Chains A and B, each alone.
Chain A
Amino acid sequence: QSVLTQPPSASGTPGQRVSISCSGSSSSIGRNTVNWYQHFPGTAPKLLIYKNNQRPSGVPDRLSGSKSGTSASLAISGLQSEDEADYYCAAWDDSLHGWVFGGGTKLTVL
């Protein structure tokens, strides 16, 4: 069981906007920032969002992140077939003194 809670699946049609939620605790998301990763099996998880809503260079602005209290979300607008992947949230946990992750959300583009 993962420390952060994500829905196991999400879906949308091309061009739509989808949102993926991530719920944590006061020791994780409540006190620290959230990262979001895109993962294709067999490859390196790609950092999409850091510090709740910051995008590394090269990540398109149709991806955005937000955080409120002990929850965070990743939004993808203008959905494309190439967005079909697994998405994970991550946050530092003060009680663990380490990183905690969500269980992952499999995004399907219909």
Chain B
Amino acid sequence: QLQMQESGPGLVKPSETLSLTCTVSGGSISSSSYYWVWMRQPPGKGLVWIGSIYYGGRTYYNPSLKSRVIISVDTSKNQFSLKLNSVTVADTAVYHCGVAYYDSSGRVYWGQGTPVTVSS
């Protein structure tokens, strides 16, 4: 089964760019059978979808974050990444990467997440 591990700085200063990487094992990130997803959970709040990237590079983002988000894939490293610019304290959250099966099942599996705090 596919497994994912998030990595990146745990502390980011306001107005700077948050950069996270998700390393995929147990399968190829180039497969057309999956697409790749990021979500986050602010402290004490629910889960929020950030965006997705599909085979071929097509992306979709949550409208509330769209102007600040870029999701990309690095096939040479079997990784995909999240960049969120101009962060504020409201971006403090646990960030999870996930894999969604590109079939009728709707299955999405998530990594354990990595906490990011935005603070000066």
Interface residues of A (CB under 8 A from B): 2, 32-33, 35, 37, 42-45, 47, 50-51, 54, 56, 88, 90, 92, 96-104
Q: Which of B37, B52, B62, B108 contacts A35 (CB 8 A)?
A: B108
Of the stretches B12-20, B26-34, B110-118, the one at the interface is B110-118
Q: Is the CB of B96 within 8 A of A45?
A: yes
Q: Which of A32, A90, A92 contacts B47 (CB 8 A)?
A: A90
Interface residues of B (CB under 8 A from A): 37, 39, 45-49, 51-52, 60-63, 96, 104-113
List the count of A-B residue pairs having beta carbons below 8 Å apart. 63
Q: Is the CB of A44 within 8 A of B96?
A: yes
A45 to B104, CA, bound (A): 21
- Shortest CB-to-CB span from A32 to chain B, Å, is 7
Q: Is the CB of B46 within 8 A of A104?
A: yes
Q: Can you name the residue of chain B whose Cβ is closest to the Cβ of A37? A: B110
Chain A residues with CB below 8 A from B105, complex form: 50-51, 54
Q: Is the CB of A32 within 8 A of B106?
A: yes
4 new A-B contacts at CB < 8 Å, known A2-B46, A45-B96, A50-B105: A2-B47, A56-B107, A90-B47, A97-B60
A98 and B112 contact, Cβ closer than 8 Å, known pairs A35-B107, A51-B104, A88-B46: no
Q: Can you name the residue of chain B whose Cβ is closest to the Cβ of A41? A: B94
Chain A residues with CB below 8 A from B111, complex form: 44
Chain A residues with CB below 8 A from B107, complex form: 35, 47, 50-51, 56
A45 to B51, CA, bound (A): 17
Chain A residues with CB below 8 A from B113, complex form: 42, 44
Q: Which 8 pairs between the two chains have the least Cβ-Cβ distance?
A: A101-B47, A103-B46, A99-B49, A44-B112, A2-B46, A33-B106, A98-B49, A97-B60
Q: Which of B37, B109, B112 contacts A99 (CB 8 A)?
A: B37
Chain B residues with CB below 8 A from A37, complex form: 110
**8 A-B contact pairs sorted by A residue (CB < 8 Å):** A35-B106, A44-B111, A44-B113, A47-B107, A51-B104, A90-B47, A98-B61, A101-B39
